[in-house]
Amino acid sequence: MTDFLLLDGGLLRAVDPVLLRATTFGHFTSMQVRDGKVDGLDLHFDRLDRSTREVFGEPLSADRVRADLRAAVDEAGSGDLSIRVNVFATTRLHLLVRVGPPVAPATDPIRLATYEHERSVPHLKHTGTFDLTYHAHKAQQAGYDNALSSTPHPARSPKPPSGTSASRVAQNSSSRPRRSSKASASRSSNAACPPTALHRSP
């Protein structure tokens, strides 16, 4: 018997069950593409290779990632996109590239509910994001725009906000809001790197 998926009682014929592994055990990076170029592209390559070596015990070449990114841009027919690259494994490594519309930076201040929390294996941008999404939803239910986690104080154990209350409000007036659960490669590092084209010039 082979694996199969049902959604609300209906058989999903176009979705490979192996893709579920991409959401349960793996890592990723997210980027904004403008005019076919990505800020700090080498940093994304480094992150994916470093994390793949740690999680799956083998390297991930920049050439392979670049080829899949080029394929995504070609398929989209546009140079302005949002792209997320997931790395997971079965008997071999897989790259799952998700493409969406470009996201413009926010210009208005946002209201953040803060809470004490430390992610598991925080140095990896891994797919275990339930806790971050949970607190973001709780913050939005309480009237905030998002949630911002802070490192727990060493003298006391982590204590998430109860119900829909938040510990305090932070106003962020920068042009790009901080996000607790969906941050892309380090903005501070990317700022020093010129955009890199996904397609090399002839």
CATH of the domain at 25: 3.30.470.10
What are the residue ranges of helices labelled H in 32-61? 41-56
Indicate if the pLDDT at residue 186 is higher than 70.
no
Number of helices (H), then strands (E), belonging to the chain: the values are: 5, 10
User: What is the rounded average pLDDT of the residues 73-92?
Assistant: 93
* Cα gap 29→85, rounded to integer Å: 5
H or E element in which residue 69 lies: helix 62-76
Instruction: Please state, for a pLDDT cut of 90, what percent of the chain lies above it.
Output: 52
Cβ-contact 135, 121 below 8 angstroms: no
Backbone angles phi and psi of 45, in degrees to 5: -60, -45
Identify the pLDDT of residue 190: 53
Q: Same structural domain for residues 52 and 84?
A: yes
Q: Which residues contact 16 (CB under 8 A, 6 or more apart)?
A: none
Task: Label residues 16-36 b or e (16+ Cβ within 10 Å = b).
Answer: eeeeebbeeebbbbbbbbeeb
Identify the pLDDT of residue 4: 82
Identify the pLDDT of residue 196: 77
Q: Same structural domain for residues 56 and 72?
A: yes
Q: What Cα–Cα distance (Å) separates residue 176 from each residue in 9, 10, 47, 89, 179?
A: 41, 41, 22, 33, 9
Q: Domain limits at 55?
A: 13-104+190-197
Q: Same structural domain for residues 18 and 66?
A: yes
User: What is the rounded average pLDDT of the residues 168-191?
Assistant: 41
Q: Which residues contact 118 (CB under 8 A, 6 or more apart)?
A: 149, 151, 152, 158
Q: Same structural domain for residues 42 and 62?
A: yes
Instruction: Look at the chain and report how many structural domains it folds into.
Output: 2
Identify the pLDDT of residue 12: 84
Identify the pLDDT of residue 157: 53
Express each pLDDT in 87-146 by its tens digit: 999 999 999 999 999 998 888 999 999 998 888 898 999 999 899 999 999 999 999 999
Residue 2 forms part of a structural domain: no
User: What is the rounded average pLDDT of the residues 146-162?
Assistant: 70
Identify the pLDDT of residue 159: 54
Mean pLDDT, all residues of the chain: 81
Q: Same structural domain for residues 99 and 120?
A: no
Indicate if the pLDDT at residue 165 is higher than 60.
no
Residue 122: count other Cβ atoms within 10 Å of its Cβ. Answer: 10
Residue 169 forms part of a structural domain: yes
* Cα gap 133→138, rounded to integer Å: 9
* Cα gap 154→128, rounded to integer Å: 24
Residue 142 forms part of a structural domain: yes
* Cα gap 185→195, rounded to integer Å: 13
Residue 183 forms part of a structural domain: no
Instruction: Please state, for a pLDDT cut of 70, what percent of the chain lies above it.
Output: 78
Q: Same structural domain for residues 124 and 42?
A: no
Q: Which residues contact 94 (CB under 8 A, 6 or more apart)?
A: 18, 21, 22, 87, 88
What letter would DSSP give residue 85? E
Question: Taking Cα atoms as reference points, which of 107, 160, 106 lies closest to residue 131?
Answer: 160
Express each pLDDT in 6-37 by its tens digit: 878 888 888 888 888 888 899 999 999 999 99
Residue 145 forms part of a structural domain: yes
